[in-house]
Structure 1
Amino acid sequence: MAEKLLTISAFAKLFKTTQYTIRHYEDKGLLLPAKIAENGYRQYGMAEAYQLSFILFLRALDLSVAEIKLILTTDYPEQTMLLNKKQALQQEIARLQALERTVDEQLQQATHETTYRVNQTIHLRVLKRLPFAQDFDLSVVEAIDWQPDLMVRQLYYVIDEAGITAADVDYVNAHGTGTVANELAESAALARVFGDEGTVPISSTKSMTGHLLGAAGALEAIVTIGALQAGTLPPNVGLQNTDPDCHVNLIKTPLAAPDAQYGMSNSFGFGGHNAVLLLKKWSD
């Protein structure tokens, strides 16, 4: 009984490949049809099916066409090549498993991080708009010599205009860039206004967001509003040891403050971003 042969289209469909792939292997000398009919149709049988199956298997192992031809047309020990490929695959599996463990550790850490969501409508009342007392040109930013006097004047200005005292401020979102110049000047100004190592809790959310430059002030004002509404003050992420020259009360872990009413947001930077906002928790 004659073997039933398949056309190239049926042969390609059987192996879920394309006619062009089969012709490519034929052009490279890896595969030959069992028969070419008078009308030019190429036909394939069981032997060609085994051959193509082996070729596709080797290609799945990422062997090149040249390597496959070496195995098929010479006495090259294919077992050696397959063992080398197996070793490479085992190394890749070990790498992926290590990567998976790293991802799992990151996910586990993420599940332990506290996320705060403000579900209430946030209402903002502007108590007083602070005029810019000093602008800084970006071209001379490196020449800025930070002094706490300017900051002290701004802090007292908004407190006085709001008709409250420094003791009424429950939280300060500091400019807090993490630079020596800013931290020494701003902490000195805050200590002079709120008392040396005063009780007002202070944090810089740049420890979580980085420095957003022109967007920093707006985002930190929103964070201050959210902290008042949620009754939880954000920490200085990563803070372990405080600078002995910074005499302020820094928040190290999220701080519950359900009774907090007033929050201050500081922006002391170049490009004219030099302002202090005093925000009050909304109450009907």
Structure 2
Amino acid sequence: MKTKELKIVQITDTHLTPRGAKPANHQRVDPYIKLQNIFQDIELMPDRPDMAVISGDLVHEGVTFDYQKLKDIVDYQSERLHIPIYVVLGNHDRTRAFYEGYLEEDPQEKYYYSIATGLCDIYFIDSTYGNIEQGYIDQAQLDWLKQSISDSDKKMSLIFMHHPVDGPAITHMRYSILQNSQELLDLVKGTNVRAIFSGHIHFPTEFNRENILCSTADSSAYHINCDNHHNHLVMDATSYNIITIEDDKVGVETRLLLIHDEIINQVPIEDTDFVDPDIFK
């Protein structure tokens, strides 16, 4: 009997440049070209993925027109590659512009949804909180997720969102990641959730929390070196992940297409711990 398999491409932090602006963090290579290179790489795969997910920071603080342009790109690549492409929002996205330009709908406060496949249920979470850098999942989404997981009849569920949960590889990023990580982990503990996929930090990492794989993909636009926790170094780079689901097992491959050693920006970080939780009340 042939093993059941699901292959998902995860692209994240595309940071596409708004019309009339300059690429974020002084990128030397146009982020649109970098994204195009990923789609070309996918086209060369002998076995095409079943879907692609772009997990936030789609456009770097754009307006309605920029999300219309993104939708044209996504629709074109989806048709050309014969795969659905799903998106979630990141902290550099602008919710109103996304709804008006990408969805062509009246703006809502949050953008979250789920899909069902033969192997698993997949939840796309909106971890943005206004336009601040930090991530936070509101109570309405937590309640929705809890009920949805409870109703699931699948062996496995997956979560995609922009901000990573706290873990051993990114304790120095607590000032920026999902601020109510433990609340989410408590909710999914002991359920059929097997993996949480995210972006945001611009470097790849994997760790386990509550027997759940927590995987973060590197950016398609630029890589950030955080070896010095208080001075982050930005470099032009293009990377994406290939996620493979086989029965109840999850595997992740990182595909690196571009890396430049030149430092194009530096980001000083004073305090690396969680921020004041009162800002989310």
TM-score, scaled to structure 2? 0.29
More strand by share: 2
Tell which structure's C-alpha radius of gyration is larger. 1
More helix by share: 1
